[in-house]
Amino acid sequence: MIKCLAIDDEPLALKQLESYIKKTPFLRLEAALYSAAEARAFLSENSVDVIFTDINMPDCSGMQFVKELDNPPLIVFSTAYEEYAVESFRLDAIDYLLKPYSYQDFLKAALKVKQYHEWKSAAAERASEESTDEYFFVRADNQSVKIFLQSILYIEAMSEYIRIHFKNAKPLMTFMSIKLMMEILPADRFMRIHRSHIISLGSIKSFRRNELELNDGTILPVSATYKEELQKYIEKKTIGRK
């Protein structure tokens, strides 16, 4: 069962969300709360797999609430305003529900949550078993495609999808968040350098200021959020320093 937290300051909207969660067999509602403050207090003593949260709330917006979480679970935002869609995916949200939404709309989002949750569970199992696998499979073009770790150049986020760029093959697109992909990849071989990019550490050619060049000549931006970690890695690997 996937443990859920529901947050919405509107009583009727929260009641509907609560009923949808209870109606879905693979979801289990842990709490239904009216504010981000209540949610913070709940999460300080409890854990959940996914948070369904409204964006427009008086005490703190749903987006700000998610940004403040140290290790956020899967997130599904809901709001009556379409303009928040792009920003929600920048926060690695699994989906975005536009109010008023039906149970079928909710179920589509819930099935995405289920898929991502299963991916995370499988990744955790591999890590606990200290797997030495050099490949994994992704769904693309209605088939499972084997991806060898050594073949990856970098990975690019594209809203709900990612595009995997290879050293000697055409890019491949699959339905997945860049956050989840980062959890699957071995941390000693891959690093996130931007909200939209993960790079293979072995493919770095050079790094200067806020840009990184890969072995094939690709130039990628390095955001301030990830720059310090990249600099530490480069310094650790640098020899002959003055």
Nearest to 177 by CA among 160, 193, 163, 194: 160
Domain shared by 179 and 76, yes or no: no
- Please identify, among 128, 150, 185, the residue that sits at the C-terminal boundary of a domain: 128
Kindly give the pairing relationship between strand 2-7 and strand 27-33. Answer: parallel
Domains in the chain, number: 2
Percent of the chain topping pLDDT 90: 56
156 pLDDT higher than 90? yes
Domain shared by 71 and 20, yes or no: yes
- Please identify, among 98, 128, 158, the residue that sits at the C-terminal boundary of a domain: 128
**Within a domain: residue 86?**
yes
127 pLDDT higher than 60? no
Domain shared by 20 and 116, yes or no: yes
Domain shared by 74 and 173, yes or no: no
* Highest mean pLDDT, choosing among 77-81, 114-118, 151-155, 234-238: 151-155
- Please identify, among 104, 128, 152, the residue that sits at the C-terminal boundary of a domain: 128
Q: What is the pLDDT of residue 133?
A: 63
**Within a domain: residue 16?**
yes
**Within a domain: residue 160?**
yes
Domain shared by 147 and 81, yes or no: no
**Confidence band for 130, pLDDT divided at 50, 70 and 90:** very low
Q: What is the pLDDT of residue 108?
A: 93
pTM for this model (two decimals)? 0.61
Nearest to 44 by CA among 10, 95, 91, 5: 5
**Within a domain: residue 84?**
yes
Question: What is the CATH classification number for the domain harbouring 24?
Answer: 3.40.50.2300
Domain shared by 59 and 27, yes or no: yes
**Within a domain: residue 155?**
yes
Question: What is the CATH classification number for the domain harbouring 180?
Answer: 2.40.50.1020
Domain shared by 107 and 196, yes or no: no
Domain shared by 102 and 143, yes or no: no
Q: What is the pLDDT of residue 90?
A: 66
DSSP string, 25-78: TTEEEEEEESSHHHHHHHHTT---SEEEEES--SSS-HHHHHHT-SS--EEEEE
| Digit-coded pLDDT (tens) for 175-210 | 888 888 888 888 899 999 999 999 999 999 999 889
Contacts 24+ apart (CB under 8 A), 137-145: 138/164, 138/172, 138/174, 138/176, 139/174, 139/175, 140/172, 140/173, 140/174, 145/172, 145/174
Q: What is the pLDDT of residue 61?
A: 86
Higher pLDDT, 181 or 16: 16
Q: What is the pLDDT of residue 114?
A: 92
Domain shared by 20 and 106, yes or no: yes
- The CB-side HSE value for 214 (13 A sphere, CA atoms) comes to 22
Domain shared by 119 and 163, yes or no: no
38-52, 96-110, 115-129, 139-153: range with lowest mean pLDDT:
115-129
Please tell me the distance from the alpha carbon of residue 186 to that of residue 178, in angstroms, as a whole number: 14
Q: What is the pLDDT of residue 89?
A: 64
Q: What is the pLDDT of residue 22?
A: 96
Domain limits for position 202: 135-237
Domain shared by 20 and 104, yes or no: yes
Buried b (16+ CB within 10 A) or exposed e, 146-162: ebeeebbbbbbbeeeeb
Tokens of 202: 């072995």
230 pLDDT higher than 90? yes
**Confidence band for 116, pLDDT divided at 50, 70 and 90:** confident
**Within a domain: residue 242?**
no
132 pLDDT higher than 50? no
Domain shared by 139 and 115, yes or no: no
**Within a domain: residue 53?**
yes
**Within a domain: residue 99?**
yes
| Digit-coded pLDDT (tens) for 42-100 | 999 999 999 999 998 888 888 889 988 888 899 999 988 776 666 666 677 888 899 99
**Confidence band for 125, pLDDT divided at 50, 70 and 90:** low
